[in-house]
Structure 1
Amino acid sequence: MSGQAIKHMVIFNLKHEVGTREAKLFLQESQAILAAIPQVQQFEVFRQVSGKNDYDFGFSMVFADSADYSAYNIHPVHVDYVKNRWEKEVTRFLEIDLQLESEL
């Protein structure tokens, strides 16, 4: 990865049923925790509406470059979040990391 911005997305399912208080709380608290990490830009939370896959939710965020993305991955708040929230409440997920294709 180069000095280009990276759009990091993850789609996922929770152990909580969609629409429950627990699911809403997970989404709200995740946004508050992850968006507060300095390298994170444009944090968004999504609800899946397509019938083309069976994931329920999505997070999207932007990093200025690969250095910021790497710093995010090892940031103590992120590491703690993954260990104490994500691994306990997410049942399955798919990560997608994209950079703008500049040679189209």
Structure 2
Amino acid sequence: MFSHVVIFWTDPGQPGAAEELIEAAERYLRPIPGIVHFHVGRMVPSDRPVVEQSYQVGLNVVFRDKAAHDAYQVHPAHVEFVEKVFKRVCKRVLVYDFA
């Protein structure tokens, strides 16, 4: 298994940016071949001080292996998501990849 976790900080000057990002991830990213598990959603507030709460959207994608992840990164739908949506509505991103 190969896990790809992405944390997004959306542009506060763009109302609805988080919803747009989530909808676009569902449309562009979920159908890409090689995905074993796909989950995208809004940050959930917590009273626990160890929980990061400054971001707006999280994405968790699990692939069967690193090769499937690498193919996902260059897939035309992923590239389109990055160019058409991510670059426009996000101010910051943090990625965690682990196997």
Q: TM-score, normalised by structure 1?
A: 0.77
Which of structures 1 and 2 has the bigger CA Rg? 1
RMSD: 2.1
2:87 aligns with 87
Instruction: Give 1:32's match in structure 2, choosing from 18, 22, 27.
Output: 27
Q: Distance in 2 between matches of 1:25 and 1:86?
A: 9
Correspondence for 1:98? 98
For structure 1, which segment, 31-40 or 51-60, has the greater mean C-alpha deviation from structure 2 after superposition?
Answer: 51-60
Paired-residue identity, %: 30
- Kindly indicate whether the alpha-carbon contact (under 8 Å) linking 1:47 and 1:56 is maintained by their aligned counterparts in 2: yes
1:93 maps to a residue whose letter is V
Partner Cα distance (1:22, 1:70) in 2: 27
SS of equivalent to 1:12: strand
Partner of 2:9: 13
* TM-score, normalization by structure 2: 0.80
Alignment partners' CA distance in 1, 2:12 and 2:29: 20
Give 3-state SS (helix, strand or coil) of 1:91's partner: strand
**Which residue in 2 is equivalent to 1:102?**
none
